[in-house]
Structure 1
């Protein structure tokens, strides 16, 4: 088999006879078909257009009996994690594929050793040791689960695990909760914060509507006192409204000012009621996400037969869900329209 002894860049499992292999038409990188379909693209897509062409890692060539054996490598050589090519020790970029050879992108090995590559594509851009512990799981496992923006979450989870922290700050949780929880497939917390948001908005809308009713009643009295014909006419002619405001009797003017302040106050509380749950989502969002991730990864490790199976499970159970986030958005949009109808009777 052409790719025998070569590792799939997605799951890390070696290709073997009978495997269904998909080869990228752009650069020639081989993938298991299932891995290709899960990722939805070539893992080296970022290198397309840079004269990049995939080549089998040198250690795989040595195992197949073609070319130089793997144990003749220079002791000081650096191996590119992406393509497995030998690179001079003072090289910063792989001459074969262009991958950075920084601390997170290269491996040193001595004579007789093959490259120890981390083929988890989700670790790319993550400035953390793949073997770093996060509450008993490896950073590489967490990256396979998180996927999108792993470079942001993995270092944060490592820090929280080291310092046993529960509080952090998540801007996505603050501005996008409860949608963010559904986007990250944290459904229990998503349902909780969605319920809290709905309850807060509904309760905050009641005093706001009452204040609007009082305001409209006072404005009706104002119409009679200023000889304006209708409430709509009053709203359409703001200049006349301001001009006649000082002609109101002191009692009516004081009552109107009081209700105006109530409308502003309850309006601010109505807007704030949306962000009160979001504030706690921002504080505890990362901790909730980390806890769910650790629990699920440990569970998957218990019944996954091998690393390939585990990675496939992690990719399916983790990642993000645009559909769930959209569903949450539609629910809140429906609630918003219901509140609008509720105010329509004012």
Structure 2
């Protein structure tokens, strides 16, 4: 949002190009960042609770050039004539007739631009991508992620809570198209579950009379079941630590993933401003990925279980031969 030419509601100085402007999320009043910090809150607090929004002094109209391009009055970006909104800042390029409003009483509300961004400037940079771009990339549940991303930037924090990622990290990462972390957490969880799976299979084989391992190896493991139980406890602790770590850091990891992908898109397309369609195609949710990661984990578990059983048989036979 461009506030050049408007006045800070606290010091009443005119904003110049490059000024650091903070917008009140409740009434939309603009302040110099230092003024806002000095005052401790919005200088237009009298507007709060009344439903009244800050009014722009100047309401410039879009300017048409050669009948083909329309210059946005807010960010000065050239748009194709006929566009309803600016491709960069989203400002309406087609003026609407006021309804039942006396002439000259139309007010400007920054919520036409920032409501979907929870009062955050959509052009604010977060690590190399704008709030608008990140919102389009996240697509779903932006009301949860965008304030978190802003907090990560301002406080330098990396910690937050994500219960879905605690319950099943691979599904969360696959659903958000973070395949690297989806595969890493899937491998870790499968490997940590192997001792418990072997214990279960041995108990079932002894109870139902089928052969999972050779009789000699089964007897050896059963005789040393306390050691196996200790290994299972260690793996359970490792599983819990993995889940807690992902729960605490996954939102920060997702922000880094989103910013990195947006930067790559800009480099690949050689554009500084990405279209919403391009960003949405690269991000968002992919529910089918959840099913896919479950199938992958099933195949991993099958291979890991029988691979471990084969390795145990080989080691057991070698130990008997060496005795």
Provide TM-score, normalisation by structure 2. 0.52
1:170 is displaced (CA, Å) by 2.1
The answer as to 2:73 corresponding to 1:78 is no
For 1:261 and 1:283, locate their aligned partners in 2 and report how far apart those are by CA, in whole Å: 33
- Which aligned pairs between 1:209-248 and structure 2 lie closer than 5 A? 209=198
What are the superposed Cα offsets for residues 262-298 of structure 1, whole Å, 9 maximum, x if unpaired? 6765555555554432222222212211112112223
Change (3 A) 1:140 1:266: same
Q: Is the 8 A contact 2:136 2:279 kept in 1?
A: yes
Question: Alpha-carbon deviations, 1:197-231, whole Å to 9, x = none?
Answer: 233233x34xx636975x799xx9xxxxxxxxxx5
Superposition pairs for residues 136-151 of structure 1, below 5 Å? 136-151=128-143
Give, in angstroms, the shift of residue 187 of structure 1.
1.8
In structure 2, the CA distance between the partners of 1:266 and 1:212, relative to structure 1 (3 Å rule), is farther
Using the alignment, how far apart are the partners of 1:306 and 1:127 within structure 2?
A: 24
Q: Which residue pairs with 2:113 in the alignment? A: 118
Q: Distance in 1 between matches of 2:251 and 2:297?
A: 23
State which drifts further: 261-270 or 325-334. Answer: 261-270
Q: Distance in 1 between matches of 2:170 and 2:208?
A: 38
How far is 1:162 from its partner?
Answer: 1.0
Q: Is the 8 A contact 2:191 2:304 kept in 1?
A: no
Selected match of 1:132 from 116, 124, 129:
124
- Tell me, in whole angstroms, the C-alpha distance in 1 between the residues paired with 2:112 and 2:272: 17
Match of residue 326 from structure 1: 291
Q: Following TM superposition, by how much is the alpha carbon of 1:13 offset from its aligned partner in structure 2, in angstroms?
A: 9.7
The separation in 1 between residues aligned to 2:248 and 2:167, in whole angstroms, is 12
Aligned residues: 219
Structure 1 residues 16, 169: closer, same or farther in 2, change over 3 A?
same
Q: TM-score, normalised by structure 1?
A: 0.49
Q: Which residue of 1 aligns with 2:51?
A: none
d(CA) in 1 for partners of 2:168 and 2:161?
13
Are the structure 2 counterparts of residues 198 and 14 from structure 1 closer, same or farther at C-alpha, using a change threshold of 3 Å? same
Q: Cα 1:266–1:138, aligned 2, differ >3 Å: closer, same or farther?
A: same
Contact kept in structure 2, 1:132 and 1:158, CA below 8 Å: no
Matched, 1:190 2:182: yes
Distance 1:298 1:118, change over 3 A: farther
Residue 60 (structure 1) aligns with: 95
The 3 A distance-change label for structure 1 pair 291 and 335 is same
Q: RMSD of the TM alignment (CA)?
A: 4.7
Partner Cα distance (1:270, 1:13) in 2: 59
Distance 1:336 1:126, change over 3 A: farther
Conservation of the 8 A alpha-carbon contact between 1:133 and 1:158: no
Aligned twin of 1:38: none
**Alpha-carbon shift at residue 142 of structure 1 (Å):** 1.0
**Residue equivalent to 2:19:** none
| Matches of 2:280 and 2:243, distance apart in 1 | 28
Instruction: Go from structure 1 to structure 2 and tell me whether the alpha carbon gap of 1:198 and 1:216 turns closer, same or farther (over 3 Å shift).
Output: closer
8 Å Cα contact 1:300-1:310 kept in structure 2? no
Q: Structure 1 residues 267 and 155, CA, compared in 2 at 3 Å: closer, same or farther?
A: same
Residue by residue over 1:118-151, the C-alpha shift from the partner in whole angstroms, topping out at 9 and shown as x without a partner, is: 39xxx62745332333123321121011111111
The answer to whether the Cα contact below 8 Å between 2:117 and 2:146 also exists between their aligned partners in 1 is: no
Match of 2:192 in 1: 200
1:262–1:151: structure 2 CA closer, same or farther, 3 Å change rule?
A: same
2:166 to 174, 187, 196: 174
Classify the secondary structure of the residue corresponding to 1:178.
Answer: helix
Unaligned runs of 5+ in 2: 1-68, 86-91, 210-222, 311-323
